[in-house]
A and B are shown apart, each in its own frame.
Chain A
Amino acid sequence: MGHGRYIEPPKGQYQVQSGEKLELQYVILPGESRDLEISIDLAGPGAEAHIKVLYLCKADEKVRIRVLMHHRAPGCHSTQLINGIAGGRADVRFDGTIVVAPDAQQTEAFQENHNIVLTEEAKVVTKPQLEIYADDVKCSHGATVGRLNADELFYMRSRGIPEAEARTLQMLSFLSPVIPEGREEEIESALRGL
Chain B
Amino acid sequence: MSEDKQIIQQFTSGEYKEGFVTDVEQEFIPKGLNEDIVRMISARKEEPQWLLEFRLDALRKWQAMPQPEWAHLDMPEIDYQDIIYFAAPKKDKDRPKEIDPKLAETFDKLGIPLKERDVLAGVVAVDAVFDSVSVTTTFRKTLAEKGIIFCSFSEAVKEHPDLVRKYLATVVPSGDNYFAALNSAVFSDGSFCYIPKGVRCPMELSSYFRINAKGTGQFERTLIVADEDSYVSYMEGCTAPMRDERQLHAAVVEIVVEKGADVKYSTVQNWYPGDADGKGGILNLVTKRGICKGDGSHLSWTQVETGSAITWKYPSTILKGDYSSSEFYSVAVTNNHQQADTGTKMIHLGRGTKSRIVSKGISAGVSQNSYRGLVRMAKGAQNARNYSQCDSLLIGSRCGAHTFPDIQSRNPTATVEHEATTSKISEDQLFYCNQRGMGPEEAVGLIVNGYAREVLSRLPMEFAVEAQKLLQVSLEGSVG
Bitwise, B399-411 to A at CB < 8 A (1) or not (0) is 1111111111111
Chain B contact residue count (CB 8 A cutoff): 44
The one of B70, B71, B400, B412 in contact with A147, judged by C-beta atoms closer than 8 angstroms, is B412
Q: B398 contacts the other chain (Cβ, under 8 Å)?
A: yes
Contacts of B400 in A (CB 8 A): 4-6, 131-133
Contacts of A6 in B (CB 8 A): 400
Contact residues, B385-440 vs A (CB, 8 A): 392, 394-424
Q: B339 contacts the other chain (Cβ, under 8 Å)?
A: yes
Q: How many residue-residue contacts, CB under 8 A, span A and B? A: 136
**Cα-based distance from A3 to B394 in the complex (angstroms):** 19
CB distance from A177 to the nearest CB of B (A): 17
Contact residues, A105-136 vs B (CB, 8 A): 105, 115, 117-120, 122-136
The one of A137, A138, A147 in contact with B415, judged by C-beta atoms closer than 8 angstroms, is A147
CB distance from A144 to the nearest CB of B (A): 5
Contacts of B415 in A (CB 8 A): 144-147
Q: A162 contacts the other chain (Cβ, under 8 Å)?
A: no
Contacts of A141 in B (CB 8 A): 403, 418-420
Q: Indicate if the CB atoms of B408 and A117 lie closer than 8 Å.
A: no
Contacts of B418 in A (CB 8 A): 126, 128, 141-144
Q: B200 contacts the other chain (Cβ, under 8 Å)?
A: no
Q: Indicate if the CB atoms of B404 and A127 lie closer than 8 Å.
A: yes
Contacts of A143 in B (CB 8 A): 405, 407, 416-418
Q: A24 contacts the other chain (Cβ, under 8 Å)?
A: no
Q: Indicate if the CB atoms of A1 and B75 lie closer than 8 Å.
A: yes
**Cα-based distance from A120 to B406 in the complex (angstroms):** 20
Contacts of B409 in A (CB 8 A): 115, 117, 123-125, 145
Q: B379 contacts the other chain (Cβ, under 8 Å)?
A: yes
The one of B72, B406, B412, B422 in contact with A139, judged by C-beta atoms closer than 8 angstroms, is B422
**Cα-based distance from A139 to B420 in the complex (angstroms):** 8
Contacts of B416 in A (CB 8 A): 143-146
Q: Indicate if the CB atoms of B339 and A135 lie closer than 8 Å.
A: no
CB distance from B342 to the nearest CB of A (A): 13
Contacts of A129 in B (CB 8 A): 402-405
**Cα-based distance from A119 to B397 in the complex (angstroms):** 46
Bitwise, A85-116 to B at CB < 8 A (1) or not (0) is 00000000000000000110100000000010
**Cα-based distance from A122 to B408 in the complex (angstroms):** 11
Give B374's nearest chain A residue, CB to CB.
A127
Give B398's nearest chain A residue, CB to CB.
A102
Q: Indicate if the CB atoms of A132 and B396 lie closer than 8 Å.
A: no
> Given A2-B73, A140-B422, are A127 and B392 also a contact pair (CB < 8 Å)?
no
Q: B207 contacts the other chain (Cβ, under 8 Å)?
A: no
**Cα-based distance from A2 to B404 in the complex (angstroms):** 14
Q: Indicate if the CB atoms of A140 and B396 lie closer than 8 Å.
A: no
28 contacts between A and B (CB under 8 A): A1-B73, A2-B74, A2-B75, A2-B341, A103-B397, A119-B412, A123-B408, A125-B409, A126-B418, A129-B403, A130-B420, A131-B400, A132-B401, A132-B422, A134-B397, A135-B395, A136-B397, A137-B394, A139-B422, A141-B403, A142-B417, A142-B418, A143-B407, A144-B415, A144-B418, A146-B415, A146-B417, A147-B415
